[in-house]
Amino acid sequence: MDKLSQYLARDVAIAKALAYSGVALVVSLVIAQGFLMGFIPPPSPNLSAEELAQIFIDRKIGIRIGTMIECIGFTFWGTWAISIVVCMRRMERGIPVLSYASIANAGGAWVFFLLMPITWAMIAFRPESMDPKFIQIMNDYVWFIFILSWPPFALFMIFIATAIFRDHNVPTIYPRWVAFFNLWCAVLITPAALIEFVKTGPFAYDGLISFWFIYIVFFGWIVVMSMVTVKALNRVAARAAVTS
């Protein structure tokens, strides 16, 4: 093995660690938001302000610890996304338009992720002395940030799919079904836009479609992409070893 491919092997190892960080994100979400905060599923948007404030008073210690963990876990969005962009860069020749667009997109989307636990942590900081109406608005804000911010994420999925369709490598770095999987996810998270209109039922932000279905699709997408990206990176390393 020459020096260059040794270098590349180490780069690939780092990129694989970044790809696995997506799994860490999902695990921290389940632990922090599910067990510690009890926000899977969310409190109903139909609750009165007083009922909601009581939830934050009762669970404030769990929410403080949970948000702390989630701040760390959600940071991995950026690292995980870059592991995919690294593969996209190798699919594009000429001007790497989709790679650049994805980097900007992933960096912007990262802000939405971190705003969620930070806002919750602020509510749990002094929930007893805060006006319940204010707690209600801030809690709505968290869920709106999370669910209504679907377009940049859908766009990232479309970028990935486009890059795979245009991949010049033989065989392609990702299998082609990954492209369709991403398009499918992009279509499936669109009903998220409906949470603005309703407070109960399947399209409310705690509903069967807008919460459960979209949550499972979105975080399932992160886990699936982690797995296929690790495999793709292995192929990149193997191919480089052969050509050098």
Partner 1 sequence: MPGEEGVWLFIGGDLILFTLLFAVFLHMRAEQLTVFTEGRAQLNQTWGLINTLLMLTSSWCVATAIQAARRHQVQVTMRCFGGALACGLGFWTVKCFEYSEKLSAGLTITTNDFFMLYFTYTGIHLIHVTIGMGVLTALIFYARSGNFDAAKLRNLESGASFWHLVDLLWIVLFALLYLVGAP
**What is the rounded CA–CA span in Å between residue 88 and residue 83?**
9
Of 2-10, 114-122, 130-138, 173-181, which part binds partner 1 (CB under 8 A)? 173-181
**What is the rounded CA–CA span in Å between residue 85 and residue 107?**
12
Which of 134, 180 has the CB closer to partner 1? 180
Tell me the per-residue interface mask from 123 to 162 with partner 1, x by CB under 8 A, - otherwise: ----------------------------------------
Burial call 52-73: b when 16+ CB within 10 Å, e when fewer:
bbebbeebbebbebbbebbbeb
**What is the rounded CA–CA span in Å between residue 190 and residue 134?**
29
CA 49 to chain centre: 29
Does 168 interact with partner 1 (rule: CB under 8 A)?
Answer: no
Which of 26, 214 has the CB closer to partner 1? 214
Nearest one of 155, 158, 156, 154 to 191, comparing CA atoms: 154
Does 184 interact with partner 1 (rule: CB under 8 A)?
Answer: yes
Does 188 interact with partner 1 (rule: CB under 8 A)?
Answer: yes
Residue with tokens 């886990």: 223
Does 20 interact with partner 1 (rule: CB under 8 A)?
Answer: no
Of residues 187, 223, 227, 238, which one binds partner 1 by CB under 8 A? 187
Does 203 interact with partner 1 (rule: CB under 8 A)?
Answer: yes
Does 227 interact with partner 1 (rule: CB under 8 A)?
Answer: no
Q: Which amino acid is at 183?
A: L
Does 223 interact with partner 1 (rule: CB under 8 A)?
Answer: no
Does 170 interact with partner 1 (rule: CB under 8 A)?
Answer: no
Q: Give me the sign of the Cα torsion angle 101, 211, 113, 131.
A: positive
Chain residues in the site for partner 1 (CB under 8 A): 176-177, 179-181, 183-184, 187-188, 190-191, 194, 197-198, 201-203, 208-209, 213
